[in-house]
Structure formats: C-alpha cells, structure tokens
C-alpha cells in the first residue's frame, strides 16, 4: 500500500478541516468562556451546553461538527469511490483533527458528531444503529457519557453483521472492499471516540483506572 503526495496532502487537509475548533470559537465569542479550561475541557456539544448554559450554542456546535465530517467525506467519496483505503484514512484524519486540534494545543472534542457525519455518508445504517443504542441507554437512565461509550463499543460488531449481510451503503462504495478492512476502519473510529471518554473508564472500572494512574 503506497500513498503519493496527493494522498498525503488530502490527509493533511482533512486533519486541518477536522481541527477547526467550532465549539471553542462559538463559546469564546458568544459567552466569553474558554471551553478548554471549563467543564470537562472538551470542545464538543455536551461541554458547550454545560459551560455556556445555552442549548442553541450546543446545537450550533453539533451541526458544525457534524457537517465537518459529512461534507469532506461526501466530496472525497465522489473522487475516491474505488479507493476506499484513501477514503477511510482521510475520514480517520478528520476525527484526529477534531479530537486533537493543532489550534488548541492538541485538545479537542470526543469525535461523536464528526464521526456521525462520516457514517451518514459512508453507511447511514451504522449511524442509525449508533443513535438507536444511545437513545435506549439514555431511556434506561444512563448518563450521556456512559451512553456514548457503550453505544460506540457496539459499532464494530454491528459493522461485521452489516457487511456480512451485504446491506446497502449510502454512497455506492466499491462492494469488493474486504470486510476486514471495513471493520478495521470502524474499530479505528470507535477507538478514537472511546479514548476521549476517560472519565467513563474511571466510573465503570474504578480499580482499573486506579492501576492506570499508578
């Protein structure tokens, strides 16, 4: 597997697009508060609402971060329909940029909204499953972050079932793609989201968290 200068440039551009700190800027300009220094320190929707006290601000952050994932992947899918590896890696770089923004000293969000935008384009069934599990967990009184965490854990298993049954994708991505490659991609996205939920690990596995801190 080789990547030319064009591919490397695409990955870099995707990282920079992902790293645009919409939540930080919205809250900073509208509420004069620094998301990286208040609340959880996260620049995503949940912390934006918590710190600003404004649901409208949170919705704006959610929309921007969602389309920050959806629009670049939609455009890339039109160009690299037969090169899913480039498409998948570019998608990963969008999440990396969002979670570890170069403009915020590599702080960022959790990757949920940006990941949702990516899955809307690549496979809306994965997004629907993700949202369904999240809603069910919230209805049984799970906290938002725990719901995020558990729903994301199930994504790779659902991806296996989805592609083994050859369920259609949103965009007609090359169906000759190896199912292992697709699952690896979903695992990568899931891991990038999960590792941005360290407080959940401390709640669910307190003894393991203590050992990690030693």
- Whole-number percent of the chain with pLDDT over 70: 85
**Minimum mean pLDDT range among 11-25, 93-107, 143-157, 196-210:** 196-210
Q: What is the pLDDT of residues 88-113, one digit of tens each?
A: 999 999 999 999 999 999 999 999 99
| Mean pLDDT confidence for 49-59 | 94
Q: How confident is the model at residue 214 (pLDDT cuts 50, 70, 90)?
A: very low
| Mean pLDDT confidence for 80-95 | 89
pLDDT of amino acid 172: 47
For the cut 50, the answer to whether the pLDDT of residue 196 exceeds it is yes
For the cut 80, the answer to whether the pLDDT of residue 177 exceeds it is no
pLDDT of amino acid 209: 47
Q: How confident is the model at residue 162 (pLDDT cuts 50, 70, 90)?
A: confident
Give CA–CA dist 21/27, Å, rounded: 10
Spell out the long-range contacts of 6-10 with Cβ–Cβ below 8 A and sequence spacing 24 or more: 7/86, 7/89, 10/76, 10/86, 10/90
pLDDT of amino acid 182: 82
Q: Between these two residues, 98 and 5, which has the higher pLDDT value?
A: 98
């Amino acid at each position: 597997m080789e990547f030319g200068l064009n591919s490397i440039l695409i990955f870099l551009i995707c990282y920079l697009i992902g790293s645009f700190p919409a939540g930080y800027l919205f809250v900073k300009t509208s509420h004069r508060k620094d998301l990286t220094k208040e609340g959880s320190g996260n620049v995503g929707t949940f912390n934006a609402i918590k710190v600003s006290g404004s649901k409208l601000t949170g919705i704006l952050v959610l929309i921007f971060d969602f389309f920050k994932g959806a629009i670049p992947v939609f455009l890339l899918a039109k160009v690299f329909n037969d090169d899913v590896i480039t498409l998948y890696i570019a998608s990963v770089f969008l999440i990396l940029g969002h979670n570890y923004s170069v403009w915020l000293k590599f702080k960022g969000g959790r990757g949920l909204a940006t990941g949702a935008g990516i899955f809307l384009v690549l496979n809306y069934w994965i997004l629907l499953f993700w949202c369904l599990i999240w809603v069910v967990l919230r209805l049984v009184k799970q906290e938002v972050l725990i719901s995020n965490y558990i729903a994301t854990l199930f994504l790779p298993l659902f991806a296996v079932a989805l592609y083994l049954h050859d369920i259609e994708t949103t965009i007609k991505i090359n169906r000759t793609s190896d199912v292992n490659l697709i699952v690896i991609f979903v695992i990568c996205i899931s891991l990038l989201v999960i590792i941005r939920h360290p407080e959940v690990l401390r709640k669910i596995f307190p003894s393991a968290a203590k050992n990690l801190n030693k």
